[in-house]
Amino acid sequence: EQASREVFFGPMMKAGGTGGVIVINRDGDIALTFNTPGMYRGSRVKGSKAQVSLFK
């Protein structure tokens, strides 16, 4: 999560960008970093139903 914040809030914010990023590390930990009121996202794990979320 810290790495995603450093990259996202550093260069992207300096460029005036908005949006977000989803980061997954080698252990499967997920971090969502965004600077908007919400972020659309979805995921699917083999053998399970797809999941969709629309905000925080």
Is residue 56 within 8 Å of residue 38, measured between CB atoms? Answer: yes
- pLDDT, tens only, 23-39: 888 898 888 888 888 88
State which amino acid sits at residue 30. Answer: I
Instruction: Pull the structure tokens for residue 2.
Output: 């810290």
Average pLDDT over residues 29-53: 85
**What is the C-alpha separation between 9 and 4, in angstroms, rounded?**
8
Binning pLDDT at 50, 70 and 90, where does residue 56 land? low
**What is the C-alpha separation between 41 and 26, in angstroms, rounded?**
20
Is residue 39 within 8 Å of residue 32, measured between CB atoms? Answer: yes
pLDDT for residue 39 = 84
pLDDT > 70 fraction of the chain, expressed in percent and rounded: 96
